Structure 1
Amino acid sequence: MKYSVKPLAEDSRVFKVDPQIKVKSVRFQNRYGFMVAGNLYLPADFDESKKYAVIVIFGPFGAVNEQSSGLYAQTLAQRGFMTATFDQSTTGESSGDVRNVASPDIFVEDFSAAVDFLGTQKYVDREKIGAIGICGLGSHVLTAASIDVRIKAVATSVMYDMAESMWSGLNNSKTAEQRDREKQYLADIRWEDVDNDTHVGGYHELPFDENNNPVRADKLLPNEVPAGADPVTTEFINYYIKRAYHPRSINSAMIWDATSPWGYYNFPLQQRIGKITAPKLIVTGEKAHSRYMAEAAYERLTDPKELVLVPGGHAYRPVRPDGQDPI
C-alpha cells in the first residue's frame, strides 16, 4: 500500500490548536488510486511501543480536515484515542485531476482505505478501529460499516443522507417535475462539459427559481448572510465563511462539480445499514433540519445502537467545560 507519514509542514487548522496533541501529515492511496490526504492525531504521552484504539473521521460534506473534523479528532485525542481525519477524494489536498466531484462509491471507499492505512501502523490495534462521519459523510460511514466489518464501532454526527436529499429534496420537497428538469439540467451540463472540455461547477442539492428552473452558480455560499436567510443558511455562512473559513474548503470558497448528483441518483447510500453488527451511535441536533434523516437511519439500525439528541440545530455548538467550542 502506498502511504506516507510525515511531520506537519503547514498548519492551517481553523480552530484552537492544543499543543499537547501531536499531529502528523498523512497520505495514503485508496482502492481507486486516489491519494487521500489528512492528519493523524496522537494522544498525549503517545508511546510507539503500545497499541492504540483509533477513530477515522471524515466530513462534513465539502469541508476539509482543518475544519470541524480536525477539532473532533483533536478532542478525541485529548481523551486518549488516536484519531485520523482526511479530505474526501478530489477535494482539499486529496488527489483527483477533476476537482470537487462527489461520488458515493469513492467517498465510502475512502473510509475503508483509511482503515487499510491505519491497520498497517504498528501502534494501531486492528481490533479497535472505529469511524465517525460528520454531516453528509454520516450516510457514507454507515454505508462503509455495513460491509467493512473491520470497523468495530461507528458513529454519525448530525448526519445527512446525501443521496436521499439530492433525489427527494429536503423534507421530500422536490416534485416530479423538478426531478425531470434536474435530469435534463444534468444532461445539458454533460454536453456543455464535453463540447467545451470543461468541468462546470454547480450545486449538489439543486435549488429552483420562481419559474421552477434549476439555479446555476459558481460558489456554494455567499460571502454575507442574505436578508431574511433561514437559520440553516445562516449557520452555514457563519461557520464556513466567517468563523472557520478555509481556502481549500468547497463550503468556504468553491462549489461542487455540477455533475455530482449523477452518482447519488444511480447508487443510493445506506441500502444495507440494517446489517451493521458493530455498536452504532447516532448524534443529532434537537432542532436540526436534518434530524429526520438521523432518526430514519436509526430506526433501520439493529442493536446495539444509541440515539443522542443535543440542544441546537444542524450546526449545534455545545461548549466544553474549558469553554472551547468543539465545532
Structure 2
Amino acid sequence: MCKACHQNIFATFVQTAHFHTSAEATTQSIRGRFSGGHNLLRTSSEGLYFKMERRDGAFYQTAVDSTRGRSTSERIDLVVGSGRRGQSFLYWRRGLLFELPVSYLTGIDAWINSPGYTDGQIDFGRLIVPRCLECHTTSFTLQTDRGVVRYARDYALGISCEKCHGDGRAHVAYHSSHPADGSGKYILNPARFSRDRNVDTCALCHSGEGTPRAPPFSYRPGEKLDDYLIPPPDRDVPTPDVHGNQVGLLRRSKCYRSSPGMSCSTCHDVHRPERDVTAFAQKCLACHQTGGHPMAAEIGGRMLTDCIDCHMPNRKSKAIQINAPTRQFALYFRSHAIGIYPEAAAAALQRSDQRRNR
C-alpha cells in the first residue's frame, strides 16, 4: 500500500530488523539449520534432546526422551526475531500462541534453550501474552472466549509502516485521487509530534516490558504512552538489556536533558538498516566540537569514529547467559545512557590501537 508512492523508503525499510521482527515460518525466515549434524540440542538430562526437523514442507521441534521411549513434537508456526541476534519460535494451539523450547542464537550458529525454559525438561507450555506480540508484530486481533483472551488469525507480522504512522487507508484513498497534493493528509508523521510524543512512539517497545493500563494494541502514535503503560518508578535505574528500558536511559542522559529538540530520531533513521556505529559519530559531532575534548591530543582522528564505543558502551546482559557445550556465551546490549565511562573509553581506545597495529 505504501510502496507505490514511497518506493525508496520502502526499499530500505524492508531490510531492517524492525520489518523482520516476526514472520511466518518458512525456509527464508528461519535462520537455524535443519540438516543432519546441525539440528540437535542436547540437554543436561541423559537421553533427553531436541531435534529440529523438516517434514512435508513444514518445520518441527521434537523433544525426545530416549530413556523412557517417548517424544513430543510441535510445528514451528511463527518466527520471532530478525536473526541479527537470534530467533525464537511459536506454535498455535486452540487460539493461543506458545513459545517453543528451542531458540536459535546467531553469534554461535547454534540451537539453545529458549528464554523461560529450564534445561533438561520437556516443556512446550510457555504462553505468549499480548504484550509480547504488541512489540513483535504490527497488529493482532484479540478475541475473548469464556473469559480467555485468544488470538484470531487476523494479524500483521513484522513492524510495518502503520505501527508508527497509523492506519494509512484514508491517506492512500485521498492521495490516489489528489496526486498533486503533497501535504500528506490523513496520516501520522512522528517527525511532526512534540518531542515527548515522538519518543513515546519508540518507548512503546523500547522502554521495557511495562505494565499495561489499557488493552493491548490500543495505543496510537501521537498519544501519551503513560495512558497505556504504567511507567517504571523513578527509583528504578534502567538497564541496557533484552527488553531493557533504553528510552529511560536516554532520558537520564545529560545530552537529552540539555537538548530540547533531541529525540530517538535525532540519531536513528528507522527506515534504514543501521549497524555501523562509527557512522553515528557524525551525529555526535553535529553538537560537540572535537577541539574541546580533554583528550583530543591523545585520541586524535579517532574522535571522528569512536564516540559511541566510549560514551555509549556495550553492557553484558544480566538477563541472559548462554551455556554452550564448550563455552559460555554472553549477549551485549548498547547503553543509551550517553555519558563518560573511563573504563569503557580505555578499552575502546586499546581495541582501536590493536586494529591499527595489525
Q: Bigger radius of gyration, 1 or 2? A: 2
Report 1 or 2 for greater relative contact order, CA contacts < 8 Å, sequence distance ≥ 6: 1
* Global fold match (TM > 0.5): no
Task: Tell me the TM-score normalized by structure 1.
Answer: 0.22
